[in-house]
Amino acid sequence: MTAESATEKSLLVIGLGMIGGSVLRSARAHGSAEVILGYDSRDDVNLLAYEQGVVDNRPAALQELIAQASMIVLAVPPMTFPAVFTELASIGVADGTVLTDVASVKGPVLDACRQFAPELLSVFLPAHPIAGSEQSGLMASKVDLFKQKKLILTPHADVSNAAAHRVANFWGSLDCLLAELEPDLHDDLLASTSHLPHVLAYVLVDSLLLHPETDRLFEFAAGGFQDISRTASSDPTMWHDVFFSNKECVLAAVEQFEKRLALFKSMVENGESQRLFDMLSTAKKGRDNYLAKYRS
Amino acid sequence: MTAESATEKSLLVIGLGMIGGSVLRSARAHGSAEVILGYDSRDDVNLLAYEQGVVDNRPAALQELIAQASMIVLAVPPMTFPAVFTELASIGVADGTVLTDVASVKGPVLDACRQFAPELLSVFLPAHPIAGSEQSGLMASKVDLFKQKKLILTPHADVSNAAAHRVANFWGSLDCLLAELEPDLHDDLLASTSHLPHVLAYVLVDSLLLHPETDRLFEFAAGGFQDISRTASSDPTMWHDVFFSNKECVLAAVEQFEKRLALFKSMVENGESQRLFDMLSTAKKGRDNYLAKYRS
């Protein structure tokens, strides 16, 4: 999919965290919308967004902002979608307004739309920018967060071509590299490459905090620990929601990991030297290939 | 422990991998020894080290090099120590020569010395530089690898003060930050902060390679995956040896992790929202504190 430059009349981002804020900053920098609006459930965040020049609007009621928006981006934690769709359905969205989102899960977000705002399905094309960091909050947002980063669109049977086209153009205007996946496949793949790694990082730190010598443990931790634990500094609300929303895929990925960890243990316990060496070598090759193919 | 600048008559590093090569480059840069010698079990590596100016000597027999060395650094994989100590005991080490090493495990290395070269215990002070990377081999060695990085010395009852002093001075001359730990405590702590994270990285990649959609999996992997899997690109021989050498502590750390992972799973399965949020929040706080305290 290629993108054309696009100018929306008015962009509204709901949820002014790190990702939502970055959408706004990037949209302003790229001229992706004439008017740049934002809304957060926290008043202090709405004020900050206005004072920092991230949005054009002073803090306002969601209803007022929705009435002006031609493009709405939902940037709230996954489990907030039912409430947001309920509110959007109740307020009503103007003809010609289209919707997208940034959540790390796609099936559950579509389900929420289908259940709480079915009339919006035809104008909603879900999206997941593969960009982020362990930081959170508006002040961590960046103008170039999405620059040349993959963005996965998950088209579905109910979205109109016109709406899909406009949403894709909008994301393309932020200099994202657009890709497409079927929503359930997205959730399956990301459970393994993103959600499982977050589980491991959180549980690793959790596990180390229970060590009787926690202080000395962290004192002598090396660079490898800093990297592998990085995502444990991510927003707990966000990841709590991802784990519950994508429960089935996350549990399947964790269980597959547990099986292989048990195999690793049995190899070490039983002194299976060659098998262990082969397991480590194959993993190294797999990781080196990934790096060479997708990160060069 | 503070370090004085020290000049050894002659340094010999046995094992010319990434760490061994970095010891040599750093020692030359800091004038830590008048003569810089190296030995590897592979002839091509010995030649490369000479041609690259990493060592002063052309490829030579280990016996010849040992006869000239006042400071010997053992930079071989953990399970090679019994063979190396056997060889050192058989060749014999000159009066006044002292020994240190760079292995990620300390108890097993001391045990190997006690068993295969007990006469060297009094001149052997084990060391573990907390510096490294997923890269391996002589060409990955760096002159500043140890600069302002922690180096853990593990003094033991049998080492003489004079030998311990010289070894500490040598490492201090490479601009390391010297610290001390009892050998068994070192192996316990590092099993949690270094060996376990390596297990998780290897098993994560191993696990993903078995996914039916492996190719698309890696295609859509994000930066978080790149970081958390980084150490899976480490040398399989090294880590095979670390896992077996430090078997008891590694298995204990893995088992503690497994317990907490099982708890995570049960929270997700049973919809224990608040407990899961608390677990993630505590881990985030723990990781943020570690960063603020030891990585600022």
CB contact under 8 A, B225 and A283: no
Q: Which of B216, B284, B288 to mutate to test the interface with A (most CBs of A within 10 A)?
A: B284
Based on the domain organization, do B162 and B239 belong to the same domain? no
Q: Kindly state the percentage of chain A with pLDDT values over 90.
A: 93
Residue-wise pLDDT tens digits, A20-56: 999 999 999 999 999 999 999 999 999 999 999 999 9
With CB atoms and an 8 Å threshold, state whether B291 touches A217.
no
Q: What is the pLDDT of residue A132?
A: 78
Residues of B in contact with A19 (CB under 8 A): none
Determine whether the interchain pair B240/A150 forms a contact, defined as Cβ–Cβ distance below 8 Å: no
Flag whether pLDDT at B22 surpasses 50.
yes
| Best mutation target, A208, A233, A256, A273, to test chain B (most B CBs within 10 A) | A208
Mean pLDDT, rounded, for B242-262:
98
Contacts of A287 in chain B (CB under 8 A): 201, 205, 229-230, 232-233
**Quick one: B176 and B201 in the same domain?**
no
Say whether both B132 and B195 belong to one domain: no
Considering chain A, what is the average pLDDT of its residues?
A: 95
Mean pLDDT of B159-164: 98
pLDDT of residue B197: 96
Check pLDDT > 50 for residue A3. no
| CB nearest to A283's CB, from B213, B232, B277 | B232
Q: Are residues A31 and A157 in the same domain?
A: yes
**Domain count across chain B:** 2
Q: What's the mean pLDDT in A72-85? A: 97
* Cα B288 to Cα A218: distance, rounded to the nearest angstrom: 11
Q: Domain of A227?
A: 186-294
Rounded Cα distance between A55 and A39, Å, is: 9
Shared domain for A269 and A190, answered yes or no, is: yes
Dist. CA B225–CA B158, nearest whole Å? 45
* Close Cβ partners of B51 (under 8 Å, ≥ 6 residues apart): none
Asked if A126 and A48 sit in the same domain, the reply is yes
Same domain, A137 and A14: yes
Residue A2, pLDDT score: 41
CB atoms B295 and A210 under 8 Å: no
- Averaged pLDDT, A200-219: 95
Using the 3D structure, point to which of B153, B181, B209 is the last residue of a domain: B181
**Whether residue B146 is found in the same domain as residue B238:** no
Q: Is the pLDDT of residue B2 over 50?
A: no
CB contacts of A245 in chain B (<8 Å) are: none
**Domain termination site, one of A160, A181, A202:** A181
**pLDDT-based confidence at residue A5 (cuts at 50, 70, 90):** low
pLDDT at B134: 86
- Pairing verdict, β A150-153 and A127-129: antiparallel
* CA dihedral over A201, A206, A211, A214, signed as positive or negative: positive
Judge whether B3 lies within some domain: no
Residue B232: its H or E element: none
Most confident of A128-132, B3-7, B240-244: B240-244
Quick check: A202 and B281 CB within 8 A?
Answer: no
Q: Do B273 and B248 reside in the same domain of the chain?
A: yes
pTM over 0.80: yes
For residue B256, pLDDT beyond 80: yes
Q: How confident is the model at residue B7 (pLDDT cuts 50, 70, 90)?
A: confident
pLDDT of the residue at B288: 96
CA distances (Å), B163 to each of A78, A124, A248, B166, B170, in order? 61, 72, 59, 5, 11
Region class of A92: left (phi > 0), else alpha (psi between -120 and 50), else beta? left
Q: Write out pLDDT tens, residues A221-235.
A: 988 899 899 999 999
Tell me the per-residue pLDDT of A135-149, one tens digit each, with 9 for 90 and over: 899 999 999 999 999
CA atoms within 13 A on the CB side of B226: 17
pLDDT of residue B3: 44
Residues of A in contact with B261 (CB under 8 A): 199, 203, 254, 258
With tokens 């894709």, the residue in question is A168
What average pLDDT score do residues A240-268 get? Answer: 98
Are residue A256 and residue A120 in the same domain, yes or no? Answer: no
Average pLDDT, chain B: 95
Q: What does the alpha-carbon distance between residue B127 and residue B200 come to, in Å, rounded to a whole number?
A: 25
- Complex confidence, ipTM: 0.93
Of A181, A211, A227, which marks where a domain is finished? A181
pLDDT value for B5: 52
Note the pLDDT of residue A6.
56
Q: Count CB-CB contacts under 10 A for residue B162.
A: 12
Name every chain B residue with its beta carbon within 8 A of the beta carbon of A148.
Answer: none
pLDDT tier at A68 (50, 70, 90 boundaries)?
Answer: very high
pLDDT of residue B296: 62
Residue A93 shares a structural domain with residue A149? yes
**pLDDT reported for residue B160:** 98
Our CA-based measurement puts residue B265 at a distance from the nearest CA of chain A, in whole angstroms, of 7
Q: b/e string for A142-152 if b means 16 or more Cβ within 10 A?
A: bbebbeebbbb
Interface test with A, best of B198, B261, B289 (most A CBs within 10 A): B261
Give residue B133's pLDDT band: very low, low, confident or very high (50, 70, 90): confident
Tell me whether residue A2 is in a domain. no
